[in-house]
């Protein structure tokens, strides 16, 4: 007759404890590796190509007037209209017919809702700030023809009497029409997640105070030399002048420390918003943009220097 094995009570208890520990112990998370220098260089080279191609290939850096957008909407096919506001905003103020809504911070995580890379995209928001920020994000991810509704964006659109549908846009279908590079998507998701609550806006009074207090910042003027000569500039102890068309080629002259605070400005606040987001895409973590550009600075009563006067 086969004999049954008999084990001490303590050994059975140990076995039960060991099985329970194996069943409940959480796996040790694997730390995400930091990007290597080669990966960073590769990503930067890709951004160089895409940003420069966009700057070279668009008129007015993608800013479109309302009449131009309305005429384009009548074409067959029309452009892809992208509403980058929140659900609450669109519910409260309506939307442009046919728009697909993806909030700015979610843009790099919802690319299945976007069209093919060669389809023109027109972005809009409440006043023009966030939809301009969305342009470099889309360009970085691979879209080639990206525009934005200027002159107050949806607020201006409504004031001019252009049609608006009530409420938020309906839930869009998944198109899965483009496959952005996963490394670029991950990077741009991190860039958007790191945006401050005010989306990088600095008002003229706050910039004036920072400059008066000797705050450590670099003031970056992205206007052309002709504009600077005819309209003057904002004086700062640390300042750089790089026209936006040359920003990619000359980005090596920017501060090596990517935590340096940089404030971008231009004439009215559009080009410097593009520049702000491009610099953030390159890894600069504390880039702000002067709301309204030099025009707002002067309207607030702050001085403008002239070349040769300081």
Q: Is 110 exposed, middle or buried (0-12, 13-18, 19+ CB in 10 A)?
A: middle
| pLDDT digits 0-9 by tens, 186-195 | 999 999 999 9
- CA-CA distance, 118 to 140, in Å (whole number)? 14
- CA-CA distance, 271 to 281, in Å (whole number)? 15
Number of other CB atoms surrounding residue 253 within 10 Å: 10
**Structural domain spans, the chain:** 37-193, 201-299
Q: Which residue numbers in the chain have pLDDT < 70?
A: 1-40, 309-310
Class of domain 201-299: alpha beta
Whole-number pLDDT of residue 41: 79
Whole-number pLDDT of residue 137: 98
Which residues is 124 bridged to in the sheet?
A: 83
Whole-number pLDDT of residue 3: 36
Question: Coil, strand or helix: which one is 231?
Answer: helix
- CA-CA distance, 35 to 282, in Å (whole number)? 13
Angle ∠(53,68,84) on CA atoms, nearest 5 = 65
Which residues is 218 bridged to in the sheet?
A: 262
For residue 124, the Cα-to-chain-centroid distance in whole angstroms is 13
- CA-CA distance, 87 to 103, in Å (whole number)? 8
Whole-number pLDDT of residue 215: 77
Whole-Å CA distances, 220 to 1, 129, 223, 254: 92, 19, 9, 9
- CA-CA distance, 135 to 104, in Å (whole number)? 10
- CA-CA distance, 28 to 282, in Å (whole number)? 32
- Could you tell me the two tokens for 145? 């023809």
Are residues 53 and 92 in contact, defined by beta-carbon separation less than 8 angstroms?
Answer: no
Peptide bond into 77 cis (omega under 30): yes
Whole-number pLDDT of residue 271: 98
207-220 core/surface letters (b: 16 or more CB in 10 A; e: else): bbebbeeeeebbbb
Query: Distance from first CA to last CA of the chain, Å, rounded?
Result: 108
Residues 6+ apart with CB under 8 A from 99: 81, 82, 83, 124, 169
E strands, 167-229, are 201-202, 218-221
For the chain, the helix, strand and coil percentages under 3-state DSSP, each to the nearest 5? 45, 10, 45
Whole-number pLDDT of residue 274: 98
As a whole number of angstroms, the longest Cα–Cα distance in the chain is 110
37-193 CATH fold? Oxidized Rhodanese; domain 1 (3.40.250)
For residue 43, the Cα-to-chain-centroid distance in whole angstroms is 16
- CA-CA distance, 145 to 191, in Å (whole number)? 21
């Amino acid at each position: 007759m086969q004999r049954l094995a008999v084990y001490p009570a303590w050994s059975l208890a140990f076995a039960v404890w060991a099985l329970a520990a194996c069943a409940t112990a959480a796996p040790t998370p694997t730390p995400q590796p930091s990007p290597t220098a080669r990966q960073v260089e590769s990503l930067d080279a890709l951004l160089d190509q895409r940003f420069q191609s966009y700057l070279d290939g668009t008129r007015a850096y993608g800013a479109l007037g309302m009449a131009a957008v309305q005429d384009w909407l009548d074409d067959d096919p029309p452009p892809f209209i992208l509403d980058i506001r929140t659900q609450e905003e669109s519910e409260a103020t309506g939307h442009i017919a046919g728009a697909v809504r993806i909030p700015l911070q979610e843009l790099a995580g919802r690319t299945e809702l976007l069209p093919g890379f060669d389809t023109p995209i027109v972005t809009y928001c409440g006043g023009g700030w966030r939809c301009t920020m969305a342009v470099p994000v889309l360009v970085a991810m691979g879209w080639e023809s990206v525009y934005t509704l200027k002159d107050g964006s949806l607020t201006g659109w409504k004031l001019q009497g252009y049609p608006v549908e009530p409420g938020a846009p309906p839930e869009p279908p998944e198109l899965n029409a483009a496959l952005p590079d996963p490394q670029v998507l991950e990077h741009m998701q991190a860039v958007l997640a790191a945006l401050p609550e005010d989306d990088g806006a600095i008002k003229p009074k706050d910039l004036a105070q920072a400059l008066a207090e000797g705050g450590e910042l670099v003031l970056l003027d992205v206007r052309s030399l002709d504009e600077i000569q005819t309209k003057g500039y904002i004086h700062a102890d640390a300042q750089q002048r790089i026209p936006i068309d040359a920003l990619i080629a000359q980005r090596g002259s920017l501060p090596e420390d990517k935590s340096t605070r940089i404030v971008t400005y231009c004439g009215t606040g559009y080009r410097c918003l593009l520049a702000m987001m491009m610099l953030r895409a390159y890894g600069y973590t504390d880039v702000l943009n002067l709301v309204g550009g030099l025009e707002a600075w002067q309207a607030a009563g702050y001085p403008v220097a002239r070349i040769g006067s300081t």
